[in-house]
Protein backbone atom coordinates (compact mmCIF):
# COMPACT_ATOMS: atom_id res chain seq x y z
CA UNK A 1 0.00 0.00 0.00
CA UNK A 2 2.78 2.37 0.91
CA UNK A 3 4.42 1.66 -2.44
CA UNK A 4 1.26 2.70 -4.32
CA UNK A 5 1.00 6.05 -2.46
CA UNK A 6 4.66 6.77 -3.08
CA UNK A 7 4.16 6.07 -6.79
CA UNK A 8 1.22 8.48 -7.03
CA UNK A 9 3.18 11.32 -5.37
CA UNK A 10 6.06 10.85 -7.86
CA UNK A 11 3.61 11.07 -10.78
CA UNK A 12 2.05 14.30 -9.42
CA UNK A 13 5.43 15.96 -8.94
CA UNK A 14 6.49 15.10 -12.51
CA UNK A 15 3.19 16.56 -13.87
CA UNK A 16 3.63 19.78 -11.92
CA UNK A 17 7.14 20.14 -13.30
CA UNK A 18 6.01 19.90 -16.93
CA UNK A 19 3.10 22.28 -16.38
CA UNK A 20 5.43 24.93 -14.99
CA UNK A 21 7.57 24.69 -18.08
CA UNK A 22 4.64 25.29 -20.52
CA UNK A 23 4.94 28.88 -21.92
CA UNK A 24 1.22 29.07 -22.58
CA UNK A 25 0.27 28.22 -19.06
CA UNK A 26 0.84 31.74 -17.67
CA UNK A 27 0.62 35.38 -19.02
CA UNK A 28 3.51 37.67 -18.04
CA UNK A 29 2.45 41.02 -16.49
CA UNK A 30 2.85 44.26 -18.41
CA UNK A 31 5.35 45.44 -15.86
CA UNK A 32 7.60 42.54 -16.75
CA UNK A 33 7.79 43.60 -20.39
CA UNK A 34 10.97 45.58 -21.02
CA UNK A 35 10.59 49.03 -22.59
CA UNK A 36 11.72 49.17 -26.19
CA UNK A 37 14.94 51.04 -26.76
CA UNK A 38 15.23 53.29 -29.84
CA UNK A 39 17.93 52.41 -32.32
CA UNK A 40 20.00 55.44 -31.24
CA UNK A 41 19.99 54.21 -27.69
CA UNK A 42 18.08 57.20 -26.28
CA UNK A 43 15.36 56.25 -23.78
CA UNK A 44 11.85 57.15 -24.86
CA UNK A 45 10.56 60.35 -23.09
CA UNK A 46 8.24 59.99 -20.17
CA UNK A 47 4.67 61.04 -21.11
CA UNK A 48 3.48 64.44 -19.69
CA UNK A 49 0.57 63.66 -17.39
CA UNK A 50 0.36 67.13 -15.80
CA UNK A 51 -1.98 68.61 -18.46
CA UNK A 52 -1.59 71.90 -20.41
CA UNK A 53 -0.28 75.03 -18.73
CA UNK A 54 -2.73 77.61 -17.39
CA UNK A 55 -3.26 80.79 -19.39
CA UNK A 56 -2.47 84.09 -17.64
CA UNK A 57 -5.47 86.36 -17.22
CA UNK A 58 -5.36 89.21 -19.74
CA UNK A 59 -4.40 92.71 -18.75
CA UNK A 60 -6.90 95.25 -20.09
CA UNK A 61 -5.63 98.70 -20.97
CA UNK A 62 -7.97 101.59 -21.72
CA UNK A 63 -7.61 104.62 -23.96
CA UNK A 64 -10.39 107.21 -23.86
CA UNK A 65 -10.59 108.29 -27.46
CA UNK A 66 -13.17 111.02 -27.00
CA UNK A 67 -16.84 111.79 -27.03
CA UNK A 68 -19.39 112.92 -29.54
CA UNK A 69 -22.34 115.14 -28.72
CA UNK A 70 -25.76 114.89 -30.32
CA UNK A 71 -27.38 118.25 -29.72
CA UNK A 72 -30.85 117.22 -30.89
CA UNK A 73 -31.25 114.13 -28.75
CA UNK A 74 -28.99 115.49 -25.99
CA UNK A 75 -26.80 112.46 -25.58
CA UNK A 76 -23.12 111.85 -25.33
CA UNK A 77 -21.42 109.03 -27.20
CA UNK A 78 -18.22 107.95 -25.50
CA UNK A 79 -15.55 106.12 -27.49
CA UNK A 80 -13.13 103.90 -25.57
CA UNK A 81 -10.38 101.67 -26.97
CA UNK A 82 -9.63 98.55 -24.90
CA UNK A 83 -6.66 96.25 -25.52
CA UNK A 84 -5.96 92.85 -23.92
CA UNK A 85 -2.40 91.62 -23.47
CA UNK A 86 -0.14 89.42 -21.34
CA UNK A 87 -1.77 86.03 -22.01
CA UNK A 88 0.74 84.63 -24.49
CA UNK A 89 1.38 84.94 -28.20
CA UNK A 90 -1.04 82.17 -29.14
CA UNK A 91 -3.94 83.41 -27.02
CA UNK A 92 -7.20 84.56 -28.50
CA UNK A 93 -9.45 86.97 -26.62
CA UNK A 94 -13.17 86.68 -26.04
CA UNK A 95 -14.94 89.87 -24.96
CA UNK A 96 -18.29 90.43 -23.30
CA UNK A 97 -20.26 93.50 -22.23
CA UNK A 98 -22.64 94.11 -19.36
CA UNK A 99 -24.54 97.42 -19.40
CA UNK A 100 -25.45 99.95 -22.06
CA UNK A 101 -23.66 100.55 -25.30
CA UNK A 102 -21.91 98.20 -27.71
CA UNK A 103 -18.47 97.40 -28.98
CA UNK A 104 -16.77 96.30 -32.16
CA UNK A 105 -13.80 93.95 -32.22
CA UNK A 106 -11.13 95.54 -34.42
CA UNK A 107 -8.60 92.77 -33.78
CA UNK A 108 -8.78 89.82 -31.45
CA UNK A 109 -6.99 91.77 -28.74
CA UNK A 110 -8.65 95.15 -29.26
CA UNK A 111 -12.21 96.40 -29.03
CA UNK A 112 -13.74 99.83 -29.46
CA UNK A 113 -16.58 100.52 -27.04
CA UNK A 114 -19.25 103.05 -27.96
CA UNK A 115 -21.56 104.14 -25.17
CA UNK A 116 -24.84 106.03 -25.21
CA UNK A 117 -25.69 108.95 -22.95
CA UNK A 118 -23.81 108.28 -19.72
CA UNK A 119 -24.36 104.51 -19.73
CA UNK A 120 -22.94 103.50 -16.35
CA UNK A 121 -22.32 101.23 -14.85
CA UNK A 122 -20.65 99.37 -17.70
CA UNK A 123 -18.50 96.26 -17.33
CA UNK A 124 -16.39 94.95 -20.22
CA UNK A 125 -14.81 91.53 -19.63
CA UNK A 126 -12.21 89.47 -21.45
CA UNK A 127 -11.15 85.80 -21.28
CA UNK A 128 -8.02 84.56 -23.03
CA UNK A 129 -7.98 81.10 -24.65
CA UNK A 130 -4.84 79.30 -25.87
CA UNK A 131 -4.44 76.79 -28.68
CA UNK A 132 -5.38 73.88 -26.38
CA UNK A 133 -8.72 75.52 -25.54
CA UNK A 134 -7.58 76.30 -22.02
CA UNK A 135 -9.26 79.46 -20.72
CA UNK A 136 -7.77 82.05 -18.43
CA UNK A 137 -9.39 83.69 -15.49
CA UNK A 138 -11.75 86.48 -16.51
CA UNK A 139 -10.48 90.04 -16.43
CA UNK A 140 -12.88 92.97 -16.46
CA UNK A 141 -12.97 96.72 -16.23
CA UNK A 142 -15.93 98.76 -15.02
CA UNK A 143 -16.77 102.44 -15.00
CA UNK A 144 -19.76 104.63 -14.40
CA UNK A 145 -20.40 107.90 -16.20
CA UNK A 146 -22.91 110.28 -14.71
CA UNK A 147 -25.87 111.42 -16.73
CA UNK A 148 -26.58 115.13 -16.78
CA UNK A 149 -29.89 114.24 -15.16
CA UNK A 150 -27.84 113.12 -12.17
CA UNK A 151 -26.94 116.75 -11.59
CA UNK A 152 -28.63 119.12 -9.13
CA UNK A 153 -28.24 122.07 -11.52
CA UNK A 154 -27.85 122.21 -15.29
CA UNK A 155 -28.01 125.59 -16.98
CA UNK A 156 -27.55 125.74 -20.74
CA UNK A 157 -27.74 128.94 -22.79
CA UNK A 158 -29.93 127.02 -25.22
CA UNK A 159 -32.65 127.09 -22.57
CA UNK A 160 -33.26 130.66 -21.37
CA UNK A 161 -36.25 132.94 -20.96
CA UNK A 162 -36.90 136.60 -21.74
CA UNK A 163 -38.86 139.54 -20.40
CA UNK A 164 -40.07 140.18 -23.91
CA UNK A 165 -43.29 138.17 -24.33
CA UNK A 166 -44.05 135.98 -27.33
CA UNK A 167 -40.55 136.31 -28.77
CA UNK A 168 -39.44 133.06 -30.35
CA UNK A 169 -36.75 132.53 -31.32
CA UNK A 170 -34.54 134.66 -29.12
CA UNK A 171 -32.45 137.23 -30.95
CA UNK A 172 -29.03 138.73 -30.47
CA UNK A 173 -28.76 141.51 -27.93
CA UNK A 174 -31.87 140.52 -25.98
CA UNK A 175 -31.81 140.89 -22.20
CA UNK A 176 -32.45 137.59 -20.37
CA UNK A 177 -34.14 137.54 -16.99
CA UNK A 178 -34.40 133.79 -16.42
CA UNK A 179 -32.17 130.77 -16.94
CA UNK A 180 -34.09 127.51 -16.81
CA UNK A 181 -32.75 124.46 -14.99
CA UNK A 182 -32.59 121.28 -17.10
CA UNK A 183 -31.68 118.94 -14.21
CA UNK A 184 -35.28 118.45 -13.15
CA UNK A 185 -34.74 120.12 -9.76
CA UNK A 186 -36.44 123.42 -10.65
CA UNK A 187 -33.36 125.43 -9.69
CA UNK A 188 -34.23 128.25 -12.05
CA UNK A 189 -31.75 131.13 -12.07
CA UNK A 190 -33.34 134.61 -12.04
CA UNK A 191 -31.98 138.10 -12.39
CA UNK A 192 -32.43 139.90 -9.03
CA UNK A 193 -34.61 143.02 -9.05
CA UNK A 194 -32.98 146.28 -10.10
CA UNK A 195 -30.12 144.48 -11.84
CA UNK A 196 -29.14 144.81 -15.47
CA UNK A 197 -29.87 141.77 -17.59
CA UNK A 198 -27.32 139.39 -19.08
CA UNK A 199 -27.34 139.62 -22.87
CA UNK A 200 -28.14 136.72 -25.20
CA UNK A 201 -25.82 136.04 -28.17
CA UNK A 202 -26.81 133.32 -30.61
CA UNK A 203 -24.42 131.14 -32.63
CA UNK A 204 -21.53 132.45 -30.59
CA UNK A 205 -19.49 129.28 -30.01
CA UNK A 206 -19.59 126.23 -32.26
CA UNK A 207 -23.14 127.18 -33.25
CA UNK A 208 -24.35 127.53 -29.65
CA UNK A 209 -25.63 130.62 -27.84
CA UNK A 210 -23.96 132.18 -24.78
CA UNK A 211 -24.83 134.86 -22.25
CA UNK A 212 -22.82 138.03 -21.88
CA UNK A 213 -22.25 139.25 -18.31
CA UNK A 214 -21.17 142.74 -17.31
CA UNK A 215 -21.02 145.77 -19.51
CA UNK A 216 -18.08 147.98 -18.73
CA UNK A 217 -19.16 150.95 -16.64
CA UNK A 218 -22.72 149.85 -15.91
CA UNK A 219 -23.49 150.48 -12.26
CA UNK A 220 -25.80 147.51 -11.77
CA UNK A 221 -23.85 144.74 -13.44
CA UNK A 222 -25.88 141.65 -14.32
CA UNK A 223 -25.78 138.22 -12.73
CA UNK A 224 -28.20 135.37 -12.08
CA UNK A 225 -29.25 134.01 -8.70
CA UNK A 226 -30.65 130.62 -7.78
CA UNK A 227 -32.49 131.48 -4.61
CA UNK A 228 -32.19 129.19 -1.62
CA UNK A 229 -32.61 125.58 -2.69
CA UNK A 230 -32.28 122.52 -0.46
CA UNK A 231 -30.66 120.59 -3.31
CA UNK A 232 -27.77 123.09 -3.29
CA UNK A 233 -26.98 122.70 0.41
CA UNK A 234 -23.86 120.82 -0.59
CA UNK A 235 -21.17 119.12 1.46
CA UNK A 236 -19.52 117.59 -1.64
CA UNK A 237 -19.48 119.16 -5.08
CA UNK A 238 -18.36 118.68 -8.65
CA UNK A 239 -19.04 121.54 -11.04
CA UNK A 240 -18.40 122.28 -14.70
CA UNK A 241 -18.71 125.67 -16.34
CA UNK A 242 -18.09 126.94 -19.87
CA UNK A 243 -16.78 130.48 -19.49
CA UNK A 244 -14.71 133.14 -21.16
CA UNK A 245 -13.10 136.18 -19.56
CA UNK A 246 -13.23 139.07 -21.99
CA UNK A 247 -11.83 142.13 -20.22
CA UNK A 248 -11.32 144.22 -17.12
CA UNK A 249 -13.76 146.83 -15.83
CA UNK A 250 -11.82 150.09 -15.80
CA UNK A 251 -14.65 152.16 -14.31
CA UNK A 252 -15.89 150.06 -11.38
CA UNK A 253 -12.33 149.18 -10.38
CA UNK A 254 -12.75 145.43 -10.13
CA UNK A 255 -10.13 143.49 -8.23
CA UNK A 256 -11.59 140.08 -9.08
CA UNK A 257 -14.15 138.56 -11.38
CA UNK A 258 -16.56 136.08 -9.80
CA UNK A 259 -17.66 133.41 -12.22
CA UNK A 260 -19.85 131.58 -9.70
CA UNK A 261 -20.34 131.70 -5.92
CA UNK A 262 -22.56 130.60 -3.04
CA UNK A 263 -23.42 133.01 -0.24
CA UNK A 264 -21.60 130.51 1.97
CA UNK A 265 -19.54 127.54 0.88
CA UNK A 266 -17.51 128.10 -2.29
CA UNK A 267 -16.62 130.50 -5.07
CA UNK A 268 -14.87 130.44 -8.44
CA UNK A 269 -13.21 133.68 -9.46
CA UNK A 270 -10.42 135.27 -11.51
CA UNK A 271 -8.02 137.98 -10.43
CA UNK A 272 -7.95 141.46 -11.92
CA UNK A 273 -5.21 140.67 -14.43
CA UNK A 274 -7.08 137.61 -15.70
CA UNK A 275 -3.97 135.52 -14.97
CA UNK A 276 -5.06 133.39 -12.01
CA UNK A 277 -8.30 131.60 -11.23
CA UNK A 278 -9.24 130.08 -7.91
CA UNK A 279 -11.76 127.58 -6.56
CA UNK A 280 -12.16 128.60 -2.93
CA UNK A 281 -13.95 126.62 -0.19
CA UNK A 282 -15.30 128.38 2.90
CA UNK A 283 -13.20 131.44 2.06
CA UNK A 284 -10.15 129.55 3.35
CA UNK A 285 -8.79 126.80 1.12
CA UNK A 286 -7.97 127.61 -2.48
CA UNK A 287 -7.05 125.47 -5.48
CA UNK A 288 -5.76 127.78 -8.20
CA UNK A 289 -4.63 127.65 -11.80
CA UNK A 290 -2.20 130.54 -12.41
CA UNK A 291 -0.90 131.50 -15.83
CA UNK A 292 -4.00 130.08 -17.45
CA UNK A 293 -5.60 132.33 -20.00
CA UNK A 294 -9.34 131.93 -20.54
CA UNK A 295 -9.62 134.85 -22.92
CA UNK A 296 -11.15 132.12 -25.07
CA UNK A 297 -13.81 129.68 -23.91
CA UNK A 298 -12.61 126.98 -21.51
CA UNK A 299 -14.04 124.00 -19.62
CA UNK A 300 -13.48 124.81 -15.93
CA UNK A 301 -14.32 122.20 -13.31
CA UNK A 302 -13.82 121.84 -9.58
CA UNK A 303 -14.26 119.06 -7.02
CA UNK A 304 -14.47 118.99 -3.24
CA UNK A 305 -14.38 115.50 -1.72
CA UNK A 306 -14.97 115.45 2.05
CA UNK A 307 -14.09 111.73 2.33
CA UNK A 308 -10.59 112.46 1.00
CA UNK A 309 -10.39 116.01 2.45
CA UNK A 310 -9.40 117.28 -0.96
CA UNK A 311 -10.34 120.08 -3.34
CA UNK A 312 -9.10 120.24 -6.90
CA UNK A 313 -9.54 122.42 -9.96
CA UNK A 314 -9.36 121.38 -13.63
CA UNK A 315 -9.15 123.34 -16.89
CA UNK A 316 -9.90 121.76 -20.27
CA UNK A 317 -9.78 118.23 -18.87
CA UNK A 318 -6.42 118.70 -17.14
CA UNK A 319 -6.02 118.90 -13.37
CA UNK A 320 -4.26 122.11 -12.34
CA UNK A 321 -4.02 121.86 -8.57
CA UNK A 322 -5.23 119.65 -5.71
CA UNK A 323 -5.17 120.91 -2.12
CA UNK A 324 -5.78 119.09 1.17
CA UNK A 325 -8.56 120.63 3.27
CA UNK A 326 -10.16 118.81 6.19
CA UNK A 327 -12.62 121.41 7.49
CA UNK A 328 -15.48 120.35 5.25
CA UNK A 329 -17.68 122.45 3.00
CA UNK A 330 -21.11 123.67 4.02
CA UNK A 331 -23.01 125.50 1.32
CA UNK A 332 -26.01 127.62 2.19
CA UNK A 333 -27.89 130.62 0.92
CA UNK A 334 -28.12 131.62 -2.74
CA UNK A 335 -26.05 130.54 -5.71
CA UNK A 336 -24.90 133.35 -8.00
CA UNK A 337 -23.84 132.93 -11.64
CA UNK A 338 -21.69 135.70 -13.12
CA UNK A 339 -21.24 137.57 -9.82
CA UNK A 340 -20.89 137.20 -6.06
CA UNK A 341 -24.32 138.58 -5.17
CA UNK A 342 -22.97 141.39 -3.00
CA UNK A 343 -20.89 143.92 -4.94
CA UNK A 344 -20.77 145.25 -8.46
CA UNK A 345 -16.97 145.14 -8.39
CA UNK A 346 -17.04 141.35 -8.24
CA UNK A 347 -19.02 140.51 -11.36
CA UNK A 348 -17.74 138.58 -14.35
CA UNK A 349 -16.53 140.51 -17.35
CA UNK A 350 -17.18 137.84 -19.93
CA UNK A 351 -19.43 135.05 -21.17
CA UNK A 352 -20.96 131.83 -19.82
CA UNK A 353 -22.46 129.08 -21.95
CA UNK A 354 -23.21 126.24 -19.56
CA UNK A 355 -23.14 125.35 -15.85
CA UNK A 356 -23.43 121.84 -14.39
CA UNK A 357 -23.31 121.00 -10.67
CA UNK A 358 -23.34 117.56 -9.00
CA UNK A 359 -23.94 117.08 -5.28
CA UNK A 360 -21.12 114.53 -5.09
CA UNK A 361 -17.43 114.21 -5.80
CA UNK A 362 -17.19 112.24 -9.02
CA UNK A 363 -14.10 110.36 -10.19
CA UNK A 364 -11.30 111.70 -12.36
CA UNK A 365 -12.40 109.44 -15.20
CA UNK A 366 -15.93 110.81 -15.01
CA UNK A 367 -14.54 114.35 -15.05
CA UNK A 368 -12.66 113.50 -18.23
CA UNK A 369 -15.80 112.10 -19.87
CA UNK A 370 -17.96 115.10 -19.00
CA UNK A 371 -15.17 117.47 -20.04
CA UNK A 372 -15.14 115.53 -23.30
CA UNK A 373 -18.88 116.03 -23.69
CA UNK A 374 -18.53 119.77 -23.12
CA UNK A 375 -15.53 120.06 -25.42
CA UNK A 376 -17.35 118.24 -28.22
CA UNK A 377 -20.40 120.43 -27.79
CA UNK A 378 -18.57 123.73 -27.53
CA UNK A 379 -15.64 123.00 -29.85
CA UNK A 380 -13.00 123.26 -27.15
CA UNK A 381 -9.84 121.16 -27.25
CA UNK A 382 -9.34 119.19 -24.02
CA UNK A 383 -6.98 116.58 -22.69
CA UNK A 384 -8.05 112.99 -23.45
CA UNK A 385 -6.69 111.42 -20.27
pLDDT of residue 291: 62
Question: How far is CA 6 from its chain centroid?
Answer: 104
Contacts of 3 (CB under 8 A, 6+ apart): none
pLDDT in the model for residue 25: 45
What is the strand order of the sheet 59-70 is part of?
59-70, 75-85, 110-115, 102-107
pLDDT value at residue 17: 44
* pTM score, whole prediction: 0.68
- To the nearest 5 percent, what fractions of the chain are helix, strand and coil? 10, 40, 45
- pLDDT at position 49 is 39
Cis peptide before 121 (omega within 30 of 0): yes
Degrees to nearest 5, angle at CA 254 with 262 and 259: 35
Residues 6+ apart with CB under 8 A from 110: 81, 82, 83, 84
pLDDT given for residue 44 in this prediction = 52
pLDDT 10s digits, 187-198: 999 988 877 888
**CATH 2.60.120.200 in the chain, residue ranges:** 149-378
CA 270 to chain centre: 28
Start-end of CATH 2.60.40 domains in the chain:
59-145
DSSP track, 280-348: EETTTEEEEEET---SS-EEEEEEEETTTTEEEEEETTEEEEEEE--S----EEEEEESS-SS-GGGS-
Cβ contacts of 361 within 8 Å, gap of 6 or more: 236, 237, 238, 303, 304, 305, 306, 307, 308
**CA 347, CA 243: separation in Å to the nearest integer?**
13
Rounded Cα distance, 68 and 87, in Å:
33
Distance CA 217, CA 73 (A): 41
CA distances from 7 to 14, 15, 18, 20, 227 (A): 11, 13, 17, 21, 131
* Whole-number Å distance between alpha carbons of 365 and 367: 5
Tell me the pLDDT tens digit for each residue of 252-290: 455 567 889 999 999 998 776 666 788 999 888 888 877
Residue 162 has a pLDDT of: 62
Assess contact for 307 and 360: CB atoms under 8 A: no
Task: With CA atoms as reference, report the closest residue to 78 among 106, 118, 110, 126.
Answer: 118
Cβ–Cβ under 8 Å, residues 297 and 246 = no
Burial (CB count <10 Å: 0-12, 13-18, 19+), residue 36: exposed
What pLDDT is stored for residue 261 in this prediction? 92
Cα gap 305→266, rounded to integer Å: 13
CATH 2.60.120.200 fits 149-378, yes or no: yes
**What region, left, alpha or beta, does residue 97 occupy, with left being phi > 0 and alpha being psi -120 to 50 degrees?**
beta
CA atoms of 285 and 266, how far apart (whole Å): 9
Q: Which residues of the chain have pLDDT under 50?
A: 1-2, 4-33, 35-40, 42, 46-51, 71-75, 117-119, 250-252, 384-385
Between CA 221 and CA 339 the distance in angstroms is: 8
pLDDT at res. 303 = 95
**CATH hierarchy code of domain 59-145:** 2.60.40
Q: How far apart are CA 243 and CA 294, in angstroms?
A: 8
Q: Which of 287, 297, 311 is nearest to 205 (CA)?
A: 297
Scored b (16 or more CB within 10 A) or e, 171-199 reads: eeebebbebebbbebebbbebbeebbbbb
Amino acid sequence: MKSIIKFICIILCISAFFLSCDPGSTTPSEDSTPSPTPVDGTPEPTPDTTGPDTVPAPVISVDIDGTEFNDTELFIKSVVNLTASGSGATATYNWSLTGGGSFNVTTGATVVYTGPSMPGPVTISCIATDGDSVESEESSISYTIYDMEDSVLWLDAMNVGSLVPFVNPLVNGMGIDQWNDRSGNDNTADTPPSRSLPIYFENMVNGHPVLRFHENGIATNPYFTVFESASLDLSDITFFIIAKQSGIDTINGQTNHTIMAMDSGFSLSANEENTEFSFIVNGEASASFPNTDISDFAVISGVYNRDFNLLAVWVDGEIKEAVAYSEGMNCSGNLHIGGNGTTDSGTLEGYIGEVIIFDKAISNEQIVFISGYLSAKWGISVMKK
